Amino acid sequence: MKTFPMLQEVEGFLAQRQGLRIGAKHVDTKKTLHVINPSSGELLTSVACASENEIDLAVGVARQAFHSGPWGCMGPDQRSRIIWRLADLIEKNAAIFGQLDALDNGKPVAIARDVDAIYSARHFRYFAGWPDKIEGSTIPVNIPDRLNYTKVQPLGVCGLITPWNYPLLMASWKLAPALAAGNTVILKPSEETPLSVLYLADLALEAGFPEGVLNVTPGYGHEAGNALALHHDVDKVGFTGSTQTGRKIVKASIGNLKKVSLELGGKAANIIFEDAHLESAISGSFWANFSNNGQSCTAGSRLYVHSKIHEKVTEGLIKLANSLKMGAGMEDPGNDLGPVISESQMKRIFGFLERAKDEGAEVLAGGVKDERDGWFVPPTIVGNVSDEMEIARQEVFGPVLSVLSFEDDADVLKRANNSDFGLAAGLWSRDISRVRRIADSLLAGTVWVNCWGETDAASPFGGFKQSGYGREMGREAISLYSQTKSVWIA
Ligand code: NAD
């Protein structure tokens, strides 16, 4: 197997034990996070691991930077320039970010570089335009001789907790609006993928962020994550992860009633109507589920196909599944898919498949562990699935697509909406009346029509139902990280 040559900077980064980034310091800890390469199952490197004490230290530093540092009194133009410079630096170092995420997460290096890193840079660039547009208003109040106006102000210290599926990108989705709104932050990345965001913290200092504004503290969820969610001096927790952990965050937040926003799991329904353009519906629906190896909160993992075209669509999906190239993140030339994140996740996925078979489902493609080292699960298509089965109701978060059949619009809409989740949904049809009717009625924060997976820093993103609350992008993300003050002057 040929692999991309590792960049010198990446080699150097991995060779050195990385400390937490608190203020301008690299802080080492007694505890260690062992970072595993999912493409081989081998140890990649070890980094410092935050516990309650280090979280407390980081919160103190972030508080100090919020109240007394230059960040708070900086003009919006200067804040914009710093955020813009960070976007430039991410773009300039996209190859390094690409390799760090490919090694740490397993995703193909070209995707990590050209999608994750470049979209992260775009995200910072979009939010760099916000600081001088965060306006209040003058309110025409009824009391005479009073001036009433509003000011939109930052919340203070924000704890940001992120998952492993897009290590750099999910962090950027939170960091960019939180910083543009003027907060200071402590980012707690997933224990599985701490590397790219540690590197990001170094670039943030180079971009000109004052010390203590952007802190990064890798650690375990039940320790470092929980300490952040509990901390009395944290004003807000922005969380992306599973619905189960989201509940724990809400519970932990009640001590000081900190603000919480949640981007949680999904079980997206994707519907192919009989009038769809079949070729694009088949490949679009395939990638709706399998991009990022099915490890996406928006994965279209419940595919409803009209009975008239069910056989043809299923055949097309199987053909695509069997033709994909799967391999290590750093393999050259690049692959379509990498491994899943960990051995436990791989076992969890096969557990879902075993139970689905026991319930009467049929594995039509994939479903068997690949022989090579590392945590490889081939793209798996499951047929004969009914709505009640576990595999149609719970988030698998891996390369597994369930195919179901339907007869009419009202029936499929009811079934699509019969889920605890509501993050994303989609449909394929050429009938504009049907498109509008169904898109309006799907209970999901994002609906894609004749496409899937598009996001943009300017367009709001978030969940209905148990997929969370708050919207991460666009102007709504600024509201998520700020608060409005009403001022009365006699
Ligand atoms: P997870 O919930 O296990 O972990 C997410 C983060 O929470 C990690 O940093 C983890 O260390 C931390 N954490 C775990 N327990 C904690 C606790 N008790 N207190 C505080 N923090 C804790 O999720 P994951 O396995 O890393 O990611 C996969 C999940 O993320 C899926 O459910 C997926 O749908 C969801 N996700 C959602 C979105 C979205 O935008 N809605 C995006 C990506 C991923």
Catalytic residue among 297, 331, 395, 472: 297
Catalytic residue among 54, 191, 192, 263: 263
Going by alpha carbons, the residue nearest to atom 43 of ligand 1 is: 297
Sheet harboring 20-22: ordered strands across?
25-27, 20-22, 214-216, 184-188, 157-161, 236-240, 259-263, 468-469
Q: Which pLDDT belongs to residue 332?
A: 87
Distance, in Å, from the CA atom of 290 to the CA atom of 246, rounded to the nearest integer, reads 25
Residue among 242, 254, 302 whose CB has most ligand 1 atoms within 8 A, to mutate: 242
Question: Is 269-456 in CATH node 3.40.50.2300?
Answer: no
Q: Which pLDDT belongs to residue 372?
A: 86
Going by alpha carbons, the residue nearest to atom 18 of ligand 1 is: 222
52 is catalytic: no
Question: Is 8-264+467-489 in CATH node 3.40.605.10?
Answer: yes
Let me know: does 349 contact 342? Beta carbons within 8 Å: no
CA-to-CA dists, residue 456 to 87, 247, 270, 473, 475, angstroms: 15, 27, 20, 8, 12
Q: Which pLDDT belongs to residue 333?
A: 85
Let me know: does 47 contact 18? Beta carbons within 8 Å: yes
Going from N- to C-terminal start, the domains of the chain cover 8-264+467-489, 269-456
Which residues in 401-417 are b (16+ Cβ under 10 Å) and which e? bbbbbbeebeebbebbb
The token pair that represents 419 in the structure block: 């889920």
Let me know: does 17 contact 56? Beta carbons within 8 Å: no
Distance, in Å, from the CA atom of 19 to the CA atom of 25, rounded to the nearest integer, reads 8
How many Å from the N-terminal Cα to the C-terminal Cα in the chain? 76
263 is catalytic: yes
Tell me the pairing of strands 32-37 and 42-48.
antiparallel
* Beta pairing partners, 188: 161
User: Among 1, 48, 199, which residue's Cα sits nearest to residue 116?
Assistant: 199
Question: What is the Å distance from ligand 1's center to 226 Cα?
Answer: 12
Distance, in Å, from the CA atom of 151 to the CA atom of 127, rounded to the nearest integer, reads 19
Q: Which pLDDT belongs to residue 56?
A: 98
Let me know: does 281 contact 313? Beta carbons within 8 Å: yes
Question: What is the Å distance from ligand 1's center to 309 Cα?
Answer: 37
Distance, in Å, from the CA atom of 106 to the CA atom of 293, rounded to the nearest integer, reads 10
Predicted confidence pLDDT, tens digits, the chain (490 residues): 789 999 999 999 999 999 999 999 999 999 999 999 999 999 999 999 999 999 999 999 999 999 998 999 999 999 999 999 999 999 999 999 999 999 999 999 999 999 999 999 999 999 999 999 999 999 999 999 999 999 999 999 999 999 999 999 999 999 999 999 999 999 999 999 999 999 999 999 999 999 999 999 999 999 999 999 999 999 999 999 999 999 999 999 999 999 999 999 999 999 999 999 999 999 999 999 999 999 999 999 999 999 999 999 999 999 999 999 999 999 988 899 999 999 999 999 999 999 999 999 999 999 998 788 999 999 999 999 999 999 999 999 999 999 999 999 999 999 999 999 999 999 999 999 999 999 999 999 999 999 999 999 999 999 999 999 999 999 999 999 999 999 999 9
Going by alpha carbons, the residue nearest to atom 23 of ligand 1 is: 241
The token pair that represents 196 in the structure block: 């790219």
Q: Which pLDDT belongs to residue 316?
A: 98
Let me know: does 316 contact 280? Beta carbons within 8 Å: no
